[in-house]
């Protein structure tokens, strides 16, 4: 039986559960990027195929600035370098999926206070579509101040949409869900009207979806992050997963899948971002394992092989 979440758990309690679970033997590795000067590459996607070649999209940014670009990289002799001729987008935190045979790509568009490229005034998620990276064209945008909008193609051809409204129902942020008949229906109004998923975050903590997978039993596996803030605005971000039953509008309890200590030491963009892992994407393997791709401390990109976090839902039998 698959059990649904009945109450939210704090980041602290989820961390205790994970540390007691014995699933911490894996060790991450740093991905090496070149061809971007002194800039950092972080908050990457998982690799995806484009015209027969594996590509990673990553956020490229100076260590001391907030203005960034998203670039596409290919691996050459163990290093990831910019792909010749690929477009460059003035975005943050890229993501991708496949809908109806098309590549759907997106990221966060950030707005600054005039020429002051350090003072962010607002942001929104923007979407592009095309048969390949070279053919990507803009087609939709989310509401202002909403990140972490993610799409997934369902078994019947409909499209599931996860949203992340902020400051709603007394909470810092919640995840919502709605469905579309086609990509043409993806509008700000539809995104804003998504039904909220309960029992996931405490009011003073928050999270979001980073990637969604259609599971064999019809549920949707969600790779995301959960976060909290302590004194002096110190941030803690953890990669997490849950499964969502769209028919019942219920989700399984959130589970952490990695911590900063499982990755090599490295720099951080700022001291308050040391304990930040931003889930970029997950590649599921046929042997019960999966590779998580993640941004680390807003300064590097790492990957780690872990047990497939969605396998338990596909093999647990009936839902309840």
Q: Where are the domains of the chain?
A: 11-314
Query: Which residues in 143-215 belong to E strands, given as ranges?
Result: 150-153, 159-163, 166-168, 171-173, 176-180, 195-196, 206-214
Print burial letters for 26-41: b (CB count within 10 Å at least 16), e (below 16).
bebeebebeebeebbb
Which strand (E) or helix (H) includes residue 260?
none
CATH of domain 11-314: 2.115.10.20
Q: Looking at residue 169, what is its pLDDT?
A: 86
> In 135-269, where does DSSP find H-type helix?
188-192
Rounded Cα gap, residues 81 and 33, in angstroms: 6
Rounded Cα gap, residues 255 and 17, in angstroms: 8
Inter-residue contact 81 to 91 (CB < 8 Å): no
Centre a 10 Å sphere on the Cβ of residue 62 and count the other Cβ atoms it contains.
Answer: 15
Degrees, nearest 5: CA angle 48-49-51 = 150
Which residues are registered as beta bridge partners of 105? 96, 128
The torsion angles phi and psi of 244, rounded to 5 degrees, stand at: -120, 130
Inter-residue contact 144 to 125 (CB < 8 Å): no
Q: Looking at residue 243, what is its pLDDT?
A: 98
The DSSP-derived string for 91-151 is -EEEEEEEETTEEEEEEEEEEEETTEEEEEEEEEEEEEEESSGGG-EEEEE--TT----EE
Per DSSP bridges, beta strands 275-284 and 234-245 are parallel
Rounded Cα gap, residues 289 and 243, in angstroms: 17
Which strand (E) or helix (H) includes residue 63?
none
Rounded Cα gap, residues 183 and 239, in angstroms: 28
Inter-residue contact 209 to 175 (CB < 8 Å): yes
Q: Looking at residue 320, what is its pLDDT?
A: 45
Closest by CA to 223, choosing from 206, 208, 235, 211, is: 211
Tokens of 207: 């999270």
Q: Consecutive sets of 10 residues in the chain, 320 residues long: mean pLDDT of each?
A: 92 96 85 98 98 97 94 97 98 97 97 77 96 98 97 97 93 96 98 96 96 96 97 95 97 97 97 97 97 98 97 73
CB proximity list for 18: less than 8 A, separation 6 or greater: 24, 255, 256, 257, 259
């Amino acid at each position: 039986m698959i059990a649904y979440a009945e109450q939210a758990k704090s980041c602290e309690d989820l961390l205790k559960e994970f540390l007691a679970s014995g699933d911490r033997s894996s060790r991450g590795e740093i991905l090496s990027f070149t061809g971007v000067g002194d800039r950092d590459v972080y908050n990457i996607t998982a690799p995806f195929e484009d015209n027969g070649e594996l590509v990673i999209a990553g956020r490229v940014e100076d260590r001391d600035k907030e203005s960034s670009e998203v670039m596409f990289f290919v691996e050459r002799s163990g290093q990831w370098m910019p792909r010749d001729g690929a477009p460059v987008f003035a975005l943050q935190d890229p993501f991708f999926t496949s809908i109806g045979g098309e590549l759907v790509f997106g990221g966060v568009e950030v707005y600054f206070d005039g020429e002051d490229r350090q003072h962010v005034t607002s942001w929104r998620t923007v979407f592009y579509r095309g048969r390949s990276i070279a053919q990507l064209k803009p087609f939709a945008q989310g509401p202002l101040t909403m990140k972490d909008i993610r799409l997934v193609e369902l078994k019947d051809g409909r499209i599931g949409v996860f949203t992340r409204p902020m400051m709603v129902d007394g909470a810092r942020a919640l995840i919502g869900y709605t469905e579309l008949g086609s990509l043409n229906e993806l509008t700000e109004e539809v995104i804003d009207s998504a039904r909220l998923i309960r029992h996931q975050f405490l009011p003073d903590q928050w999270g979001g979806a980073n990637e969604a997978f259609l599971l064999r039993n019809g549920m949707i596996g969600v790779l995301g992050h959960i976060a909290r803030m302590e004194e002096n605005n110190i941030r803690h971000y953890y990669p997490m997963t849950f499964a969502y039953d769209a028919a019942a509008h219920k989700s399984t309890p959130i589970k952490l899948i990695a911590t900063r200590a499982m990755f090599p030491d490295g720099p951080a963009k700022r001291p308050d971002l040391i304990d930040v892992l931003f889930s970029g994407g997950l590649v599921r393997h046929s042997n019960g394992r999966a590779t998580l791709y993640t941004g680390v401390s807003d300064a590097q990109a790492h990957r780690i092989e872990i047990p497939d976090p969605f396998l338990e839902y596909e093999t647990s039998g009936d839902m309840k």
